[in-house]
Amino acid sequence: MSDLEDLEDISGVGPSKADDLRDAGYESVEDVRGADEDELAEVDSFGKSLAARVKAEVGGLELDDESDAEVTEEAADDADAESDAEAESDSESDSSVDTDDDADDAAEAAEDVIEVDYEAIDEISGVGEAKAEALQEAGYESVEDVQAASQSELADVESVGNALAARIKADVGGLAVTEDVDAEIETDEEEEEVAEEAATELQARGVADKTPTLTDETAAALAQKHREGTPKFNRQDHHKKKRVSKSYRKPRGQHSKQRKGQKGKGATVEAGFRSPTAARDLHPSGFEEVYVHNTDDLDGVDGDTQAVRIASAVGGRKRELIEEEAEEEEIRVLNPTYVEVEVEE
């Protein structure tokens, strides 16, 4: 152990860290020698690795290679910061102080590496199930494999960019991450969530696309019904007075233009407006409607020509049973339940 006179003579301690030691009450080398490693680690800009190095320098504590390498980098940073400060002129003294502070902050960030034990890859910060699968497909089966990889290697994995790779290394491998990287990772996660939500759609349960088997006569009558349609029978002058509703009433006035059948005054109910006999009372799709209240009502329903409509009083559980049995018998439900399903790309 060599003789040390000032705090700056200690390896890894520059002027800024010496000032931090003095502010903490360590005025001399003897004071530092009397403190333990944990007390030195609590000093501003000091980490555990630098505290161990200082104790090894002044108190005979042995250092492992990893701590020695970390503190060597810190000493190099301090030396660079001191050289820059000496090269500055007196007029730029304020800016040199800021430069020293930034260098100290960077050294402190490099020292304060948090080692966390994870059992699975998806427990790492910023890694969900999808990204964990991508890492496993790339050959990173465990947290140890991820910890051994470099940031650039992780960035090459599909769906893992440079920002997320830096976040992963900070969580398991000792890399400092800035707030900008954190913000970028959060944005990527939000975009991924939006993309996953957009990959679903509502689809009708059962055989909703089934069409009926129609005779030529019924098909022609149904086409005629769709082509001609049925006029709206509204009450005379309903659009002129609020107290008069649209509900049809036969016009009885002596001078009523609607009663006389003048064009533009509205149609009156009379023979000739009914739909063709073959297409009468059919659903627009061509099916004959059958109301059902339970699964027993499905017995005797012909799925080729008839479709069922579930009554409004039926609850959700019984409705689901009716729809399942109707799907097995290939019977179309005209008012099915819509469920959200994933869309295959």
Over the chain (345 residues), the average pLDDT of each successive run of 10 is 68 79 81 80 77 74 47 49 48 46 50 54 76 81 79 79 78 57 56 64 88 95 94 94 96 96 94 92 95 95 95 94 94 93 78
| Cα distances (angstroms) measured from residue 98 to each of 68, 104, 286, 304 | 27, 10, 82, 84
Q: Where do the H-state alpha helices sit in 112-178? A: 129-137, 143-148, 151-155, 162-172
Same-domain check for residues 333 and 214: yes
Dig out the tokens for 250 from the structure: 């036969």
Same-domain check for residues 94 and 136: no
296, part of any domain? yes
Same-domain check for residues 343 and 214: yes
Q: Which domain holds residue 45?
A: 7-111
Same-domain check for residues 217 and 317: yes
Dig out the tokens for 81 from the structure: 């910061």
**How confident is the model at residue 185, as a pLDDT?**
56
119, part of any domain? no
Same-domain check for residues 301 and 210: yes
Contacts of 337 (CB under 8 A, 6+ apart): 204, 205, 319, 320, 323
Same-domain check for residues 248 and 340: no
Amino acid at 187: T
Provide the greatest CA pair distance for the chain.
128
**How confident is the model at residue 89, as a pLDDT?**
45
Same-domain check for residues 343 and 216: yes
120, part of any domain? no
Same-domain check for residues 92 and 46: yes
46, part of any domain? yes
Same-domain check for residues 16 and 100: yes
Number of domains forming the structure of the chain: 4
Rounded distance, CA 236 to CA 246, Å?
8
